[in-house]
Structure 1
């Protein structure tokens, strides 16, 4: 998902309401501390973290769980689980296609939370949800935060939630031990960067290019400048996304960022094998391994 802060108009609601509120343990807390620890460990090793993204329910709910787990087993330090949306205006055509497949398959918020729960349980790694605000608002921010924490989630990335309207969500997230990751873009002025990063936690998602998500032949010279400007106003790790799809690009971004975020390239790897789940998993494992070697300089 892209991070142009001005694109926060009302979104078409996603079709994943669940009829019942599952029991949430009273002592359920999220894993924001785990996210912080993993990013700090990567920094202590003198490298950037590798953050992978895949939508829940793609190509199926079970297949999505397997794919997210495969990313974490093959070199990704963190995984973002996308909550598919019926009008993903900030996403490029690759992720739009995956979202459409997931929605046509009947994915629901319960499936997104299950994906978080099972990927985290299988690996012990931090798992976040990346979502537009509308589905969370409809579901109930407190309910969503409580259930995400109960699933072992580390936090939530909300690219279209304006900081000025985020107080209620951030209070719920903090109460349940979840990080709230905001997105900054090259168009963000320094004063805006300071305001956004002061409200966020976990890390800052720096969109390396203006526009929608998707792989690019070049990650763009704007990215390094955005990271430098963001670091000038916050001590949070700065992770760069949008456009990274190769080992060389991952190594390039790792030279100046705290984390490298890859999404569309993983989705493409699965889309390339629509009728062979094993081949799709092998493809994402191979790509994750290659990208991990890139961020590690090996």
Structure 2
């Protein structure tokens, strides 16, 4: 399953991948697959599908509010997987990652949830609250079911730990660009470029490095790419546009244009 991720990076031939994050069931269940369609039409190479969770500690107010709204509307992990299945049917070759929290998998049974996710077209998981040092069972289950394990690193992660994360990750390694939580930003500090370089050095040729948190403009994308990012990950800026849209048609059109602007920066 994670072969779709590797095939995408190979197809890009060294150009930066665009990964876009959406919350399953936000603004409603039917809209989610249409939103993915719009982002892919604009140039998204990878989709991260957020499975709503009641205590999303890594997320800022924008994604927290979207997750809360989805939960209030009755979106469960099972409904999120049904959305993934609908997306997979529309986009057979699209890399599709589930981004959520480890409690979702533990509560359902790690092995059981991995199998169901794979059956619905998920290629792997991003679990921000699961440190690589405590992930042996998760890695074993993911390997059994052909799932990618995308671990997170931060700007102050030590070189030794970066190498460990690079070794244990599959699909790509996720570098958090800034200290703190998700959310659109105006600027980035110099330490971000240094963190990308260190992550790339640790990853070597073993695995791509994706950079996320705060990226909201083509200029931000170019900054990350210039520092060496193999993928840029955009979430809050997408959810912001969904939240403020006046109607569905306008929302989908704006998302397509926004994704296209980011994809141009990736070239």
TM-score normalised according to structure 2 size = 0.95
Choose which of 35, 39, 45 in structure 1 pairs with 2:5: 35
Which ranges of structure 1 fall in alignment gaps of 5 or more residues? 1-30
More helix by share: 2
For 1:272, the equivalent position in structure 2 comes to 244
Q: Is the CA contact 1:223–1:240 (under 8 Å) kept in the aligned structure 2?
A: no
RMSD between aligned alpha carbons? Answer: 1.2
For 1:4, the equivalent position in structure 2 comes to none
Which ranges of structure 2 fall in alignment gaps of 5 or more residues? none
Deviation at 1:286, TM superposition (A): 1.4
Q: C-alpha offsets along residues 54-75 of structure 1, whole Å, 9 cap, x if unaligned? A: 1101000111121123212220
SS at match of 1:36: helix
Whether 1:73 aligns to 2:41 is yes
5 Å-filtered alignment, 1:135-174, equals: 135-174=104-143
5 Å-filtered alignment, 1:1-298, equals: 31-42=1-12, 44=13, 46-123=14-91, 124-234=93-203, 235-255=206-226, 256-273=228-245, 276-296=247-267
Deviation at 1:210, TM superposition (A): 0.4
Deviation at 1:121, TM superposition (A): 2.1
For 1:18, the equivalent position in structure 2 comes to none
Mapped partners of 1:184, 1:120: distance in 2? 28
Deviation at 1:222, TM superposition (A): 2.1
Deviates more, 1:78-87 or 1:108-117: 108-117
Mapped partners of 1:198, 1:60: distance in 2? 37
SS at match of 2:156: coil
Mapped partners of 2:178, 2:124: distance in 1? 24
Deviation at 1:199, TM superposition (A): 1.2
Mapped partners of 2:237, 2:60: distance in 1? 12
Mapped partners of 1:66, 1:162: distance in 2? 33
Mapped partners of 1:205, 1:72: distance in 2? 21
Mapped partners of 1:152, 1:96: distance in 2? 25
Mapped partners of 1:130, 1:117: distance in 2? 15
Mapped partners of 1:178, 1:72: distance in 2? 22
Mapped partners of 2:163, 2:86: distance in 1? 35
Deviates more, 1:133-142 or 1:192-201: 192-201
Structure 1 consecutive aligned stretches of length 4 or more whose deviation exceeds 3 Å: none
Q: Is the CA contact 1:116–1:128 (under 8 Å) kept in the aligned structure 2?
A: no
